[in-house]
Amino acid sequence: MLYQLALRNIWRNRRRTLLTLSAMIVSSALLILALGIFSGMLRDMLATATEQYYGHLVISAKGYQDDRDMFRNFPMDKAIGNVLKQDEILGYSQRLRSFGLLSHQQNSSPTEILGIMPSQERTVTSLQDSLIEGDYLTSDDPNGAVLGSGLAQRLNVVPGDHLVFVTQAADGSIGNDLLLVQGIFSTGDVGHDNTLVLVPLAWLQQVLVLPGQIHEIAVKTDQPLNAAAFAEQYRVNFPAALEILDWGEMLPEMREVVASYDVSRMIIVIILYIATGLGILNTFFMAVMERTRELGVLKALGMRPGQIRTMILLETFIMGSLGVLCGAVVGVVMSFYMALVGVDLSGTLTPITYAGGTILPRLHAVIEPGNILIPSVCLLLVCLLAGFLPANRAAKMQPVVAIREE
């Protein structure tokens, strides 16, 4: 009976109900969309940091990631190979790194060179998708090079040009050899676009006089946000001279960005819902005030205060659920549109590199359960809270005073 009463009360003043409902729907739908886009930006940042360079996990000699000392190298062996057989590992790439001078005719520039095996590297990083000229390295390429667009511009090279790379080899000699430009990539990350060069692993091993040695193995997993847990798991029975780091340890700023995202998400939800909550409170208060007489009659007829409170709370709960449901549907539909199509802002904005990741100039949503659940649950709570005050007031009214009220 209480339920029916509540339903009837809701539909008695349609205009008011619809206005309140639309406020709830719009606020939750927009919040879902905003959080989706926010998550999209975060995903872009994490992806640029890990999928363009680091990988989700990196295996290297202890201390190598701190000083990138050429002599902290190691050979690939069975123990490492066994770890890399896990199901959640989607791919790994053996790399050798060197810093040196890259030169073409009168132009020269300091660079970071990564010796890679193309078939392995493309399972970890997605640089092959960022090519703007030429092609990616192929497995039988003896001395090809794929370099960043900023570097290519500074050296004034196009695919087909020769480059000279000079560095100090592991035996102290002056390592130098020719490279042939194969492709040019542009990732939006200025640091990589201006300094990074990919070359065949065997070529770099020969130039550095480090046959068979590598500096790191970059690993891609199927759950980037669980990388730390995987790393912890693999550390058991791992060779003592080596260490496994997850992206959070290599990019602590990035980990903080991810953590701060959860906080800022809550702050946005709270601010928006304080405003929405006040609106809902206002509506319900008015609805109760309007019905003072009627509630007084109900009480005089023998309805207990608890029942009146329950009835009004039921009203708010029904409206809240309706609002949440419609809001979620509209929000998800809008997020889907932004996920599939998105908005390109590259005409007005340039990419921003921050904490090792790059925020791309686009609005692109990702759909995560949390981004829909959190706004929905919060809206419902706000609704019940807003209904509680007027419900309490109604319950405490004296029937005689209430009936006399104009």
Please, are residues 100 and 167 in contact by the beta-carbon 8 Å criterion? yes
Q: Which of 103, 128, 226, 307 binds other proteins (CB under 8 A)?
A: 103
Least Å from the CB of residue 170 to other proteins: 7
Nearer of residues 108 and 128 to other proteins, judged by Cβ? 108
Q: Name 315's Cβ contacts closer than 8 Å, sequence gap at least 6.
A: 6, 9, 10, 284, 287, 387
Least Å from the CB of residue 225 to other proteins: 38
Residue 383 region by backbone torsions, left for phi larger than 0, else alpha for psi between -120 and 50, else beta: alpha
Least Å from the CB of residue 173 to other proteins: 6
Residues 173-192, mask of contacts with other proteins (x by CB under 8 A): xx-xxx--------------
Q: Which of 110, 212, 252, 370 binds other proteins (CB under 8 A)?
A: 110
Least Å from the CB of residue 178 to other proteins: 5
Least Å from the CB of residue 70 to other proteins: 9
Nearer of residues 103 and 307 to other proteins, judged by Cβ? 103
Nearest to 13 by CA among 276, 273, 289: 289
Q: Which of 168, 226, 307, 392 binds other proteins (CB under 8 A)?
A: 168
Least Å from the CB of residue 111 to other proteins: 11
Nearer of residues 174 and 301 to other proteins, judged by Cβ? 174
Is 67 a binder of other proteins (CB under 8 A)?
no
Is 109 a binder of other proteins (CB under 8 A)?
yes
Least Å from the CB of residue 210 to other proteins: 11
Least Å from the CB of residue 162 to other proteins: 8
Query: How many C-beta atoms surround the C-beta of residue 117 within 10 A?
Result: 16
Q: Name 2's Cβ contacts closer than 8 Å, sequence gap at least 6.
A: 307, 310, 311, 314
Count Cβ neighbours within 10 Å for each residue of 21-55 and write b for 16 or more, e otherwise: bebbbbbbbbbbbbbbbbbbbbbbbbebbbbbbbb
Structure token pair of residue 357: 């990741």
Q: Which of 19, 101, 286, 325 binds other proteins (CB under 8 A)?
A: 101
Sign, CA torsion 390/391/397/399: positive
Q: Which of 66, 67, 140, 171 binds other proteins (CB under 8 A)?
A: 171
Q: Which segment (105-113, 321-329, 349-357, 361-369) binds other proteins by CB under 8 A?
A: 105-113
Cα gap 299→317, rounded to integer Å: 22
Least Å from the CB of residue 66 to other proteins: 16
| Bridge partner list, 36 | none
**Helix 305-340 and helix 369-396: axis angle, to 10°?**
160
Element (H, E) at 98: strand 89-104
Nearer of residues 106 and 348 to other proteins, judged by Cβ? 106
Please give the size of the binding site for other proteins, defined by CB under 8 A: 18
Least Å from the CB of residue 176 to other proteins: 5
Start-end of H helices in 183-251:
190-195, 201-207, 227-234, 247-250
Nearer of residues 13 and 168 to other proteins, judged by Cβ? 168
Is 63 a binder of other proteins (CB under 8 A)?
no
Nearest to 187 by CA among 155, 151, 214: 151
Q: Which of 78, 85, 106, 347 binds other proteins (CB under 8 A)?
A: 106
Nearer of residues 69 and 405 to other proteins, judged by Cβ? 69
Q: Which of 4, 22, 71, 77 binds other proteins (CB under 8 A)?
A: 71
Nearer of residues 175 and 356 to other proteins, judged by Cβ? 175
Q: Which segment (78-86, 106-114, 121-129, 315-323) binds other proteins by CB under 8 A?
A: 106-114
Query: How many C-beta atoms surround the C-beta of residue 315 within 10 A?
Result: 26
Nearest to 13 by CA among 290, 279, 280: 290
Q: Phi and psi of 74, rounded to 5°?
A: -155, 160
Interface residues with other proteins (CB under 8 A) are 71, 101, 103, 106, 108-110, 164, 166, 168, 170-174, 176-178
